[in-house]
Chain A
Amino acid sequence: MTFSIAKPTAVTNTTSSVAGSATVVTLLSANDNRLGATIYNDSSAILYVKLGSTASSTDFTCILAGNGSGIGGYYEVPYNYTGIITGLWGSATGNARIGELT
């Protein structure tokens, strides 16, 4: 018998906004049902994103550019990571536009 194996697909996108902050904030809480996540930096300040707790300007996974030139940085969380995601900005302005796929 030949098996047909598929990766789970996401049919729901739950959006949220997190206000820019110069101190660490939670962008997404841990969610075992998460299949993916998108983060768009709708701020003129750069956004430090960390997969994990306590992001800082020296402890992060990636930096998303500010939207000063019109389009901010965008990040798709890979590998079906389900843990907490934290971040902070260079200064407290704008928002992160977040989508969580389940």
Chain B
Amino acid sequence: MTYYPNNPNGQAAMANSAPVVIASNQSAVPVSGTISASITGTIPTTISSGTITDITNAVTVIQPTATSLKTQAENYVGGSAVSISNQLQVASSAATATVTSVSASATSITILASNASRKGAMFFNDSNQTLYLLFGSGVASASNYSVRIPSNSYFDLDMPVYTGQLNGLWNSANGSVKVTELT
């Protein structure tokens, strides 16, 4: 097959070049250098190493192993590198409060059930008797408790918030405890 004009020097402009057809059974052709592309959809390959920059839209990256993915974004807050003078801030707030009233009892009862979603809890002992409050599901008693809440007194859980069950009892059954749980 002959094409005119002939190109005796090898590479030339398209108008002066012969078309090339890649064989249907061509083996993989290596590509070197920098590749620039605008990609949407799924990238059907593996990125073994390197950096992806200029991600402007939502992108989902599936991490094949626990240690193979690193994101530079985690090192930055507000566009500045995290440092002792520019600390990463993590806020935790509670928007929902649920108040319950638990009648006083002279025997151990559940004051607040376990709740993994608990962000805080407050107790107001609305009784003329001391409340013995136990952090745990065991039997609270006057000798087995975590904190004593005097009559008409307030107590709230420290941080980090305990999310397990709380039991309690009073010296005698008078009044109640108002329990506020934040989630």
Contacts and interface: CB of A to CB of B under 8 A. Distances in A.
Contacts of A58: 101
Interface in A27-50: 30, 32, 34, 50
Contacts of A7: 89-91
B98 to A, nearest CB: 7
Interface string A73-85: 0000011111100
B37 interface: no
A58 B90 CA distance: 36
A5 B88 contact: yes
A30 B94 CA distance: 11
Interface residues of B, number: 31
B12 interface: no
A51 B183 CA distance: 12
Contact of B99 (A34, A59, A79, A81): A59
B34 interface: no
Nearest to A73: B154
B120 interface: yes
Interface of A: 1, 3-8, 30, 32, 34, 50-52, 58-63, 78-83
A63 B152 contact: yes
B91 A62 contact: no
B69 to A, nearest CB: 15
5 contacts: A34-B93, A51-B97, A58-B101, A78-B156, A79-B182
B95 A51 contact: no
Nearest to B91: A8
A58 B82 CA distance: 48
A52 B120 CA distance: 14
A82 B119 CA distance: 12
Contacts of B87: 4-6
A10 to B, nearest CB: 11
Given A51-B99, A62-B122, A4 B182 contact: no
Given A79-B120, A81-B182, A82-B95, 13 more contacts: A4-B84, A5-B87, A5-B88, A51-B182, A59-B101, A62-B154, A63-B126, A78-B122, A78-B156, A79-B94, A80-B94, A81-B95, A83-B95
A94 B97 CA distance: 27
A4 B88 contact: yes
Contacts of B145: none
A34 B95 CA distance: 10
Contact of B124 (A5, A6, A30, A63): A63
B83 interface: yes
A35 to B, nearest CB: 8
Contacts of B99: 50-52, 59-61
